[in-house]
Copies of this chain bind each other. A is one copy, B any other.
């Protein structure tokens, strides 16, 4: 045994497991992804798997803290903060996600929303972790909205409430997109969300 030898690479091994587990859990859900499935998808031995993650919950926690947090940052926080305005950033995020969905043909939903809905009732610790990601997501949008207010692009808008609204619209639309296996809910909802912003922003600022 051990014919192929072995290269100790704890960080790489760990990352490999988290990435594969994030992909599998995002697609199939937490409960539906067995430790055996996760191990197979990760392409590591049982021993290595158990060494890095002694329990499924420990793995789930890391998937949330690292995998999901990164996904939200990449899909939302970065685009919104780089955009010329909050509505523009929101439109960018929606459009990129819709394009990605139409590229691969099926809708597996928002990773954060999927796990939050599945796990919030079961584990308070995981729930709190996911709530924190929702919070940072909303904070990024609220921050951009505040920038727009300061720049005089908009007025009479409550950044926190509006940010909550935006994330709610997206999460709900994505849930319906998953149920219908269609991007229509996302497109329709984005359209109305832009209409909502049109009443709050200067006509030329949107």
Task: Give the B-binding residues of A (Cβ under 8 A).
Answer: 27-29, 31-32, 108-109, 113-114, 116-118, 120-122, 127, 130-131, 134, 160-162, 164-165, 167-176, 178-181, 184-185, 188-189, 191-193, 195-196, 199
Contact = CB atoms under 8 A, between A and B. Distances in A.
A165 B121 CA distance: 26
Given A32-B31, A168-B189, A185-B168, A117 B161 contact: no
A28 B127 CA distance: 14
For the residues of A in contact with B, the DSSP-based class is helix
Counted per complex, copies of this chain come to 2
B122 A32 contact: yes
Given A117-B117, A167-B172, A176-B168, A192 B196 contact: yes
